[in-house]
Amino acid sequence: MKFLKWLFIVLSVIWVNVCAYALENTSIKGMNVLDWQEIAPGVWSAQIGSIESLTFREMAGGEPKVDAMKAMGKVTFPFEQRLARGQVVGQRTSVRLPLGINEQVYGLGMQFKNMNRRGQVYHLRTDHYGGNLGRTHAPSPFYVTSDGYGVLFNTVKWISVYPGVGNRKDSVLPPFRDRTTDPAWQAVPTSDAVEASTHSAGMEIIVFAGPTTLDAVRRYNLYFGGGAMVPRWGLGFWHRVPTAASDKEVTDEVDEFEKRDFPLDVIGLEPGWQSFAYPGSFDWSPKRFPDPKGFSQSMIDRGVRLNLWENPYISPESSIFEAMKPYTGSHTVWLGEVPDYTLAEARELLTSHHQKNHLEIGISGYKFDEVDGIDNWLWPDHATFPSGTSAEDMRQTYGLQMQQMITDMYRKTNTRTYGLVRGSNAGASAYPFAIYSDYYNHEGFVTALCNSSLSGVLWTPEIRSARSDADWVRRMQTVCFSPMAMLNAWASKTKPWSRTKVDDEIREAMKWRMRFLPYLYTAFAQYHFEGTPPFRAMVLEPGYIPANDTKEQALDDVKNPYAQAVRRDVTDQYMMGDVLLVAPMFGRQKERTVVLPPGNWYDFYTGELVGNGEVIQVEVELDKIPLFVKDGGIIPLMKEANNTRAWKKGVELEVRCYGVKGGTAMVYDDDGTSFGYENGEYSWYRLSTQKSDAGALSGHLEQVSGDFPKTFEVVHWNFMTKQ
């Protein structure tokens, strides 16, 4: 009996402890408080569990730009550290970070449907779908908030993120409501946290301080090497020819561009340039391109660059098939073998082949297709690779691997490249590639352009076809005010002049692209040196999203159409550079709403004041895309040109000035093609306007840094606003 009594006591103690552990394990207190360490100026890291997979730091396009982050000023950690917690239970790692009751969440990759992420669950996975819930071309697990900071879940694993979704029983809960009687009942009750989880033994979390949301994005881009410094020719007009086009057909098409007075800088060759495609050979077709070197040189002589389509899967017809075979995975794609490019041997085989057969004859870049893929296109989740990298990690990073490999290949030749890729992820800001998609909704393309700016990736809303003449013009206008201006005619066989009734409007849009080159090239320089996205969502414009409101202020906002509009998740307008607001028109649209940030804004074409922090209705003719300039804005324009070679020493600038107060703007210049800018071979010019005692504005140009030869010698000042 005595023994049984003691056994009962021992078992009772064990049971109490088990229950206490179970209770603790289901509470917030049972999670570990994260330990934060500053790893770069304004950047903090914490780790929960152990990291067993690739990280985005390994896949980054450059080293952190520490000096640029220091120049942003000293900042403090952006939220209460004790509220950030994580835990590992079995093979599941979860993280919980605080979120204010009115704090808005943006980012989590390139999405086509909306921008504000709060209140929805995102399962981030590289995929071709282009959906709204995380399966997309660039599912970057990075978000920023309206409180002015950013968070990266630094794991390439598939991850689920719950921004303001999911109410822990011991968290700050909203009032309980009866659905039957209370119209304020919430299907998704307000939550006080962002939670994330992944099937792994741990993860790293990186926090990027602001103090503004734009500053957080800048710091994120700088941490991964700064933005891509694309070659100048990459900002000209691109035309991708039909799949099976031959060298003669391409030459004839280039002749037509010249004859019809349409700009052209890059020709894209689609799968048929290869001797075998789907999977690819990476070798020239002797039938369609019997003399690749002569053809390439003939294009270069005309100022036209060549970009080659590829997907990474290797056909048995390829000249490197047998050599690559030992470095490929267990499964095929279109019966082509899948190289494991985490292996140095595989990278060397591909880049050596490309160097000899492509770069040495003048090929300027690549378009990498199908690195995202639908589940039944790519390798299955149980596929294996010779490096031991999991199928999941390989799929999440395959687009990054291709970008990294090709960028390094061009760097070795001291030649910049600009290309296309259909799958990317976090940490890609330094890679000179734009994402594209098979998705083709115009409004969705503009939303994707906005969302891309929050994730460190570039995006092209390429034009392929249209429902009407008006739709053709409006799509072309959007393309010409985007990171890459491209007509993709691989299937449609369209030309810029395919709709003859609107030739003039199309030509006008393309020529504006060329005229904006100094302004646009400067925006990309700011992306590289300062981390500022050249095209960016309105939520990154200072003052656009009001600060978090008290309950009383929120009630007042309901009466304010401006506050209502910005809270409606504006996705159909964006900023290009520092001072230009772009508001595309869609289809046969005759007018549209534009939500102006605080401050005076002026019509680009007329210089007239259009509003200040308000909602306006605008009407424009078919030949114009609505453009608005910030007060004091200065925009340098080139003279009309059809090729970026027109930018050379002695180029004439028209400098347009807006508003009635003085302003300043910077203009960047380098050789446009090499990496010399990394060694200081560049110059910055300051454009400034000043008022005289009589109130008249005058303009001044001075070279303020760098020793690159002076390019801008003739400047025509155009004061657009009546003084």
Instruction: Render pLDDT for 178-201 as a digit per residue (tens, 0 to 9).
Output: 899 999 888 888 899 999 999 999
- Residues 19-30 have a mean pLDDT of 67
pLDDT tens for 384-398 read: 999 999 999 999 999
Q: What is the DSSP string of 664-709?
A: EEEEEE--SSSSGGGGT--EEEEEEEEE-TTS-EEEEEEEEEE-SP
Instruction: Check if the beta carbon of residue 588 is closer than 8 Å to that of residue 615.
Output: no
Q: What angle do CA 399, 403, 405 make, to 5 degrees?
A: 115
Task: Give tens-digit pLDDT for 394-453.
Answer: 999 999 999 999 999 999 999 999 999 999 999 999 999 999 998 899 999 999 999 999
Choice between 487 and 173, residue whose per-residue pLDDT is larger: 487
Q: What is the pLDDT of residues 615-627, one digit of tens each?
A: 999 999 999 999 9
| Tens digit of each residue's pLDDT (9 = 90 or more) over 216-251 | 999 999 999 999 999 999 999 999 999 999 999 999
Q: What is the amino acid identity at position 321? A: F
Question: Phi and psi (nearest 5°) for 396?
Answer: -70, -25
Mean pLDDT to the nearest integer, 653-669: 93
Contact 611, 589 (CB under 8 A): no
Q: 66 falls in which pLDDT band (50, 70, 90)? A: very high
| Rounded-to-integer distance, Cα 534 and Cα 434, Å | 13
Arithmetic mean of pLDDT, 83-93: 93
Contacts (Cβ under 8 Å, ≥6 apart) of 554? 102
Question: Residue 113: what pLDDT?
Answer: 87
Residue 222 structure tokens: 């700088």
Model confidence at 693, pLDDT cuts 50, 70, 90, reads confident
Q: Does the pLDDT at position 22 exceed 70? A: no
Q: What are phi and psi of 157, to 5 degrees?
A: -65, 155
Domain 232-530 and domain 634-719, same fold? Reply is no
CATH hierarchy code of domain 634-719: 2.60.40.1180
Q: Which two tokens stand for residue 419?
A: 């290309």
Contact 658, 607 (CB under 8 A): yes
How far apart are alpha carbons 516 and 705 in whole angstroms?
Answer: 22
pLDDT digits (tens, 9 = 90+) for 167-176: 899 988 888 8
Which pLDDT score is estimated for 378? 85
Q: What's the CA angle centered on 123, arms 118 and 126, to 5 degrees? A: 125
Asked: is 232-530 a CATH 3.20.20.80 domain? The reply is: yes
Alpha-carbon 612 to chain mean position: 29
What are the structure tokens assigned to 63, written together? Answer: 């080293």
CB neighbours of 466 closer than 8 A, spacing ≥ 6? 472, 475, 499
Contact 392, 379 (CB under 8 A): no
Give the residue carrying structure tokens 């267990």.
330
What is the Cα–Cα distance from 195 to 324, expressed in whole angstroms?
42
d(CA 624, CA 621): 6
Nearest alpha-carbon partner for 394 in 95, 141, 143, 125: 125
Domain positions in the chain are 1-30, 35-173+186-223, 232-530, 634-719
Mean pLDDT of all residues belonging to the chain:
91
Q: What is the CATH number of domain 35-173+186-223?
A: 2.60.40.1760
In this prediction, residue 2 has a pLDDT band, given cuts at 50, 70 and 90, of low
DSSP lists the bridge partners of residue 619 as 591
Cα 97 to Cα 206: distance, rounded to the nearest angstrom: 12
Please list, in sequence order, all residues whose beta carbon lies within 8 angstroms of the beta carbon of residue 385, skipping any fewer than 6 positions away. Answer: 329, 330, 338, 340, 342, 391, 394
Per-residue pLDDT, 712: 82
Of 451, 538, 430, residue with least CA distance to 130:
451
Q: What is the DSSP string of 100-158?
A: -TT--EEESS--SS-SB-TTS-EEEEE-SS--SSSEES----EEEETTSEEEEE---S-
